[in-house]
A and B are shown apart, each in its own frame.
Chain A
Amino acid sequence: MDYLLWLEETPFSIWMRESGPAFFGSLIFHSIGMGFVVGLHVAMNLRILGVAPGIPLSLMRRFFGVLWVSLVVVSVSGVLLLIAYPAKALTNPVFYFKLSAVVAALIITRALTRAVLQHASYDAISAPRRARVLAALSLLLWAGVVTSGRFLAYTYNILMASHQY
């Protein structure tokens, strides 16, 4: 708790909290970035599950540039939001669930990339069952990420470490 107290007293943390443009700007970038990260996964997973079979599966990788940029945007904005209210998230189990789900989902993305996106083998035939199971799991995980992200704003026990004393 001591380092949370220290962090929230730093000028940068205070500025992130008290400046409307800084805080809402970060929220906005986080939302747009998440929209693209989750949206790209929705498209990729639906395609693996057999929707829109006319899309050559390996060419879905051509959207990975957008995915990478979006991942950078959500990470940076996420850290900024964390700096604004460090205790709010770090003392809430929901936050750790969200982070774990993100990590698990990205591991699945890497596995799917290697298994079915790297080569043109599955461009015209349906993806193997294992890949389809992973795609469905990925969709569930991203739904969990979005839901836990929303619930972070409602389930915190401590808004600021300094309010504890």
Chain B
Amino acid sequence: MEALLDFSHWSGIYDFMNTSWGWPTIESLHFMGLSTLIGTVGLFDLRMIGLAKGIPMSALHKLVPWGIAGYALNVTTGFMFVSTAPDQYLFNPAFQTKLALMVIAGVNVLVFYRFSWGPVKRSGADDSPPRAARVAAAISLTCWIGVIVCGRLITYYRPPYFWCFWC
């Protein structure tokens, strides 16, 4: 926690975030990154679940690199929040749950590309993907919506009133 705060001070992030417009500006970018992820990876998931048949999944997947860019933006901006006020996040059950959901989403991505991406890529415009792909899509959507819920709840569960589920 000290190291995070030290880095924030050393890098100038702390001073930037404590200007009158720094924090809300980074929050705005964080929300744009989130929206981009929903609009790309989220739509790909919705298509695999069965929405918007007629759109080839391989074509829709071309949007995913933009979602990865949104994700990278959010890891960066997210780090700026956490390093500036680590005590508000690290001991916060909403933040801990958010990270856990991101880990699940990450494992889900690896499993999806290892086992399902091949058949999904080769499937036709009106096809339903294999069951494993549909399950992965549902897990992905659930995780990312859960991440938004937890993100909003971070300000609700402010330490020191709440610590964590397992302490």
A interface residues, Cβ below 8 angstroms from B: 20, 24, 27-28, 31-32, 34-36, 38-43, 46-47, 51-56, 59-60, 62-63, 65-66, 142-143, 146-147, 149-151, 153-154
Contact = CB atoms under 8 A, between A and B. Distances in A.
B39 A31 contact: no
B55 A59 contact: yes
A147 B62 contact: no
B148 A43 contact: no
Interface of B: 20-21, 23-25, 27-28, 31-32, 34-40, 42-43, 46, 51-56, 58-60, 62-63, 66, 145, 148-149, 151-153, 156
B63 A52 contact: yes
- Dominant SS at the A interface? helix
12 contacts: A27-B152, A31-B148, A35-B42, A39-B40, A41-B39, A51-B66, A52-B63, A59-B52, A65-B51, A66-B46, A143-B32, A149-B28
A154 B18 CA distance: 13
Given A28-B153, A54-B58, A146 B28 contact: yes
Contact of B51 (A35, A51, A66, A149): A66
A58 to B, nearest CB: 9
Contacts of B153: 24, 28
